[in-house]
């Protein structure tokens, strides 16, 4: 089902030759930080699990991981131990309250916030071992266009960019979209607009970004980049409350507007990438 292609071995190749993986691996990323990637990753995983899927969320924000905080999980064995060879992957996987699996980065991964040939190899090895066991793997990445983020995204077959309607989040979303189009030759980038104030915000924002992309992002011959609007998640005070209580919104407040929006996003993502 999932196939990993060995990347070129030179350390500098990342910038030029990703993506390296195909399969149901979805990177959840953003230009600007703090827009809701971790919140979306965790709750989207719960929504997909509720739909009967075997889901794993990998905390790919190696330097500044915080999925553990959101899920209130503090495992003894983490990705760090797997990277340094102290534990096997299976030992580091924990069950989250929402019925999905997580692989947490844990602390002590500062050395992994820079992309070295070792980090690349470790990451590839771990992904190759993981993906066959799940229907879908979500990568909760860091924000921005650092080489670690771009490498993590290069391991995914699908990219879901989280943006908010704030002008700064939009210009930063455009920046990451442009880089992914250029470096990774992405033809489809999915967009979810979080913290919207009005119905239709996300659709309008996607159309606006698409116009900028069409004008300014150099096209691959015959392969224009298409932005696909996957949904809006309204700004909802329940989100903050759930995070403060370290609970999944989908479990604590499944009927609130943001939870309903995430359930819809899961349905749409399943239809789009898991047929």
Q: Which residue, 20 or 192, is less far from ligand ATP as judged by CB?
A: 192
Question: Which entry of Mg ion, ligand ATP, none binds 34, CB below 5 to 8 A by partner kind?
Answer: ligand ATP
Residue 229 has which token pair? 């609007």
Q: For the window 54-93, what string marks contact with ligand ATP as x by the rule CB under 6 A? A: -------x--------------------------------
Partnered with residue 143 across adjacent β-strands are: 30
Question: Which entry of Mg ion, ligand ATP, none binds 108, CB below 5 to 8 A by partner kind?
Answer: none
Q: For the window 122-161, what string marks contact with ligand ATP as x by the rule CB under 6 A? A: ---------------------x------------------
CB count in 10 Å sphere of residue 126? 18
Residue 219 has which token pair? 């096209």
Q: For the window 88-127, what string marks contact with ligand ATP as x by the rule CB under 6 A? A: ----------------------------------------
3-state secondary structure 65-84: CCHHHHHCCCCCCCHHHHHC
Q: Which residue, 1 or 244, is less far from ligand ATP as judged by CB?
A: 244
CA distance 233 to 172: 19
Q: Are 143 and 32 in contact (CB under 8 A)?
A: yes
Residue 37 interacts with Mg ion (CB under 5 A): yes or no:
yes
Q: Is 182 exposed, middle or buried (0-12, 13-18, 19+ CB in 10 A)?
A: middle
Q: Which residue, 126 or 162, is less far from ligand ATP as judged by CB?
A: 162
Q: Which residue, 81 or 232, is less far from ligand ATP as judged by CB?
A: 232
CA 134, chain centre distance (Å): 16
Q: For the window 202-241, what string marks contact with ligand ATP as x by the rule CB under 6 A? A: -------------------------------x-xx--xx-
Closest CA to 152 of 182, 122, 197, 108: 122
Closest CA to 155 of 178, 194, 129: 129
Q: Which residue, 136 or 265, is less far from ligand ATP as judged by CB?
A: 265
Cis previous bond, 19, omega within 30: yes
Q: Are 186 and 225 in contact (CB under 8 A)?
A: yes
Instruction: Give the binding site for Mg ion (CB under 5 A).
Output: 37-38
Instruction: Give the binding site for ligand ATP (CB under 6 A).
Output: 30, 33-39, 61, 143, 194-195, 233, 235-236, 239-240, 243, 258
């Amino acid at each position: 089902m999932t196939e990993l292609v060995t990347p070129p071995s030179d350390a500098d190749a990342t910038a030029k030759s990703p993506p390296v993986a195909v399969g149901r691996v979805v990177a959840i990323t953003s230009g600007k930080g703090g827009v809701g990637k971790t919140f979306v990753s965790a709750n989207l995983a719960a929504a997909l699990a509720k739909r009967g899927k075997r889901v794993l969320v990998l905390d790919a924000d190696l330097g500044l991981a915080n999925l553990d905080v959101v899920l209130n999980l503090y495992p003894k064995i983490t990705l760090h131990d797997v990277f340094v060879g102290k534990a096997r992957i299976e030992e580091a996987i924990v069950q989250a309250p929402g019925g999905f699996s997580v692989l947490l980065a844990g602390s002590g991964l500062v050395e992994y916030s820079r992309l070295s040939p070792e980090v690349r190899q470790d990451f590839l090895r771990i992904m190759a071992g993981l993906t066959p066991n799940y229907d879908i793997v979500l990568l909760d990445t860091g924000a921005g266009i650092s080489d670690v983020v771009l490498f993590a995204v290069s391991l995914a077959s699908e990219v879901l960019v989280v943006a908010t309607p704030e002008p700064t989040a939009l210009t930063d979303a455009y920046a990451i979209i442009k880089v992914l189009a250029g470096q990774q030759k992405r033809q489809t980038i999915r967009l979810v607009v979080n913290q919207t104030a009005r119905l239709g915000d996300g659709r309008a924002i996607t159309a606006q970004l698409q116009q900028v992309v069409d004008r300014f992002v150099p096209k691959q011959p015959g392969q224009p980049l298409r932005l696909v609007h996957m949904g809006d998640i309204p700004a909802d005070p329940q989100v903050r409350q759930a995070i403060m209580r370290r609970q999944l919104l989908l479990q604590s407040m499944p009927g609130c507007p943001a939870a309903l929006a995430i359930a819809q996003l899961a349905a749409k993502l399943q239809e789009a990438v898991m047929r």
